[in-house]
Chain A
């Protein structure tokens, strides 16, 4: 299984060379960038849109936009964070279309009061995920993160799943570092709270009632 380390770009020098070749018209160089990051873009898009079809569209639209705008890419940020910023914007646009009655923005719902951040204090098993089959676990994790406001889950996915730094996440989303930190804390705690239902230690049997 892929680890968090190699999800994010390793050699930036080599990558910059690819970007420059692609910009100069080398289509194979662009294809290599596509193959390097399409899984990540899909994962991010699916987390934000919560819709398979939309996520596939986002992958296409984001890479095409990146290709068109390659000459606008500034070497001062990583290609990956630049690409992710394009993908996040595309994904949020899709989400807005689906929920046309509701505006979706990165400034969504921050009204949770501090006192309600944690309510569940039960211990979990050491490896609680082993209680479930892989597909069942995927279901639980997917449904749980789906319940978070879009602004929260986007921050969580970029920072904790994709392994971007807090600063990179802030830059990608156009948020301040304190805003990222506050959303991240709420996202982490809300997920924890919701997952407790599935993962907390059972009193008698091996599953909670």
Chain B
């Protein structure tokens, strides 16, 4: 297996959706190829960091304002029907 092949399978490897034989081949590649090991490990961390840190949280006051506005418009629509 070459690094390019490893990279092509990286998504499925990280998502755990590979068949066991291919998975074993990738794991074997990781044992001796430090570059791919780092790419794999840091890609995993990249995903984790974005998952665990809510970059765009909706602050409560704005959330409430939006909810009120939306529900008012929905009610208006309901009446006009």
Known contacts A38-B63, A43-B58, A141-B50, A128 near B45 by CB under 8 Å: yes
Whether B71 and A188, one on each chain, are in contact in the complex, defined by CB atoms closer than 8 angstroms, is: no
* Alpha-carbon separation in the docked complex, A10 to B71 (Å): 24
Which residue in B4, B7, B66, B75 is a CB contact (below 8 Å) of A38? B66
Would you call B21 an interface residue if the criterion is a C-beta within 8 Å of the partner chain's C-beta atoms?
no
Would you call A97 an interface residue if the criterion is a C-beta within 8 Å of the partner chain's C-beta atoms?
no
Interface size grouping (class) on chain A: 35 or more
Whether B52 and A1, one on each chain, are in contact in the complex, defined by CB atoms closer than 8 angstroms, is: yes
Would you call A118 an interface residue if the criterion is a C-beta within 8 Å of the partner chain's C-beta atoms?
yes
Whether B43 and A189, one on each chain, are in contact in the complex, defined by CB atoms closer than 8 angstroms, is: yes
Q: Please provide the chain A residues from 25 to 59 with a CB less than 8 Å away from any CB of chain B in the complex.
A: 25, 27, 30-31, 34-35, 38-39, 42-43, 46-47, 55-56, 59
Provide the residues of chain A in CB contact with B22, threshold 8 Å.
Answer: none
Known contacts A118-B7, A181-B11, A191 near B50 by CB under 8 Å: yes
Whether A121 and B39, one on each chain, are in contact in the complex, defined by CB atoms closer than 8 angstroms, is: yes
Would you call A117 an interface residue if the criterion is a C-beta within 8 Å of the partner chain's C-beta atoms?
yes
For B50, B51, B62, B75, which residue has the most chain A Cβ atoms within 10 angstroms?
Answer: B50
How many B residues touch A, CB cutoff 8 Å?
Answer: 38
Q: Please provide the chain B residues from 1 to 50 with a CB less than 8 Å away from any CB of chain A in the complex.
A: 4, 7, 10-11, 14-15, 34-35, 38-39, 41-43, 45-47, 49-50
Chain B residue at minimum C-beta to C-beta distance from A134: B53
* Alpha-carbon separation in the docked complex, A123 to B35 (Å): 9
Whether B4 and A191, one on each chain, are in contact in the complex, defined by CB atoms closer than 8 angstroms, is: no
Whether B51 and A4, one on each chain, are in contact in the complex, defined by CB atoms closer than 8 angstroms, is: yes
* Alpha-carbon separation in the docked complex, A154 to B50 (Å): 13
Determine how close the nearest CB of chain B comes to the CB of A163; give it in whole angstroms: 8
Which residue in A35, A68, A192 is a CB contact (below 8 Å) of B67? A35
Chain B residue at minimum C-beta to C-beta distance from A181: B11
Which residue in A122, A128, A138, A195 is a CB contact (below 8 Å) of B38? A122
Determine how close the nearest CB of chain B comes to the CB of A146; give it in whole angstroms: 10
Which 4 pairs across A and B sit closest by C-beta, in order of nearness? A46-B56, A42-B58, A192-B46, A192-B43
Interface residues of B (CB under 8 A from A): 4, 7, 10-11, 14-15, 34-35, 38-39, 41-43, 45-47, 49-58, 62-63, 66-67, 69-71, 73-75, 77-78
